[in-house]
């Protein structure tokens, strides 16, 4: 099995190739703003060249579907669907926040919470609890004001992402347990995307329905359109 994982949910563009083991065959990430469309296919080609693999080796293509940057999600998913169609491989969508947790190797805290800037003084987030064999989801994917989150956490927590630092003092004041944070997971998010897809395949959940972006909230264009419709 060989899964091609890609993620363009936020400013980081990442690609991974994952086989049957826990160590990726290849992984790379570029933390450059607004360069997904310029770099993504080049990174895919580099991954295949570096491993000596060809597109015929790919079992499935996996892509982060959000929440995240609306433009980034469309670029990533469009690219994944194009690759999948050209090589006859299924395309599997993986939630970005779940993929961040799967890509993070530090499980020393009871809770893990991806925390990503969502504009409008809000964050994209979810809360996961560590278990003996991995983790379990405590909340759905959310876009909320940061001050709403501490009440959902009652133990030591590690936040993952760029949404922590602007509110670090508030989180440390309001959470009555150890609080740590890193600005990104230890492995590229695309590794988590590919890991999710691999388990999806192993559990026989391949679907012929193509994945769609999970925006969590409405785009500004949708909000404006609804306002206009309400006036007519």
Going along the chain from its start, the domains and CATH numbers come out as: 3-97+187-217 (3.30.420.40), 106-182 (3.30.420.40)
The residue behind tokens 């989180």 is 171
CA-to-CA separations, 61 to 68, 102, 134, 166, in angstroms, rounded? 19, 17, 24, 35
Q: What's the pLDDT score for residue 186?
A: 96
The residue behind tokens 């050209």 is 86
Helix (H) or strand (E) holding 142: strand 142-144
Assess contact for 25 and 19: CB atoms under 8 A. Answer: yes
CA-to-CA separations, 36 to 57, 204, 223, in angstroms, rounded? 24, 31, 26
Q: How many CB atoms lie within 10 A of CB 214?
A: 18
Q: List b or e across 108-129, with b for residues whose CB sees 16 or more CB atoms inside 10 angstroms.
A: ebbbbbbbbbbeeebbbbbbbb
Q: What is the pLDDT along the chain (232 residues), one digit of tens a residue?
A: 999 999 999 989 999 999 999 999 999 999 876 677 888 999 999 999 999 999 999 999 999 999 999 999 999 999 999 999 999 999 999 999 999 999 999 989 999 999 999 988 999 999 999 998 889 999 999 999 999 999 999 999 999 999 999 999 999 999 999 999 999 999 999 999 999 999 999 998 877 778 999 998 755 454 445 445 555 6
**pTM, entire model:** 0.91
Mean pLDDT of the chain: 91
Q: What's the pLDDT score for residue 133?
A: 87
Peptide bond into 67 cis (omega under 30): yes
Token pair for 197: 């897809």
Angle at 109 between CA 64 and CA 23, to 5 degrees: 50
């Amino acid at each position: 099995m060989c899964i091609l994982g890609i993620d363009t949910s936020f400013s980081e563009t990442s690609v991974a190739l994952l086989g049957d083991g826990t160590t990726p065959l290849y992984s790379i990430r570029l933390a450059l703003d607004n360069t997904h469309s310029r770099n993504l296919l080049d990174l895919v080609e580099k991954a295949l060249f570096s491993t000596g693999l060809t597109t015929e080796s790919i079992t499935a293509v996996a892509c982060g579907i959000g929440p995240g940057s609306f433009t980034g999600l469309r670029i990533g998913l469009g690219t994944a669907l194009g690759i999948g169609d050209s090589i006859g491989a299924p395309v599997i969508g993986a939630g970005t926040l779940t993929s961040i947790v799967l890509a993070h190797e530090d499980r020393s805290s009871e809770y893990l919470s991806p925390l990503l800037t969502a504009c409008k003084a809000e964050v994209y987030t979810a809360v996961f609890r560590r278990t003996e064999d991995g983790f379990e989801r405590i909340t759905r994917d959310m876009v909320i004001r940061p001050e709403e989150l501490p009440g959902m956490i009652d133990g030591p927590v590690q936040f993952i992402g760029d949404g922590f630092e602007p509110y670090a003092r508030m989180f440390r004041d309001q959470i009555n347990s150890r609080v740590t944070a890193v600005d990104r997971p230890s492995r590229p998010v695309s590794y988590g995307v590919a890991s999710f897809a691999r388990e999806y395949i192993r559990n026989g959940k391949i679907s012929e329905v193509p994945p769609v972006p999970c925006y969590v909230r409405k785009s500004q264009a949708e909000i404006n359109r609804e306002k206009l419709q309400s006036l007519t």
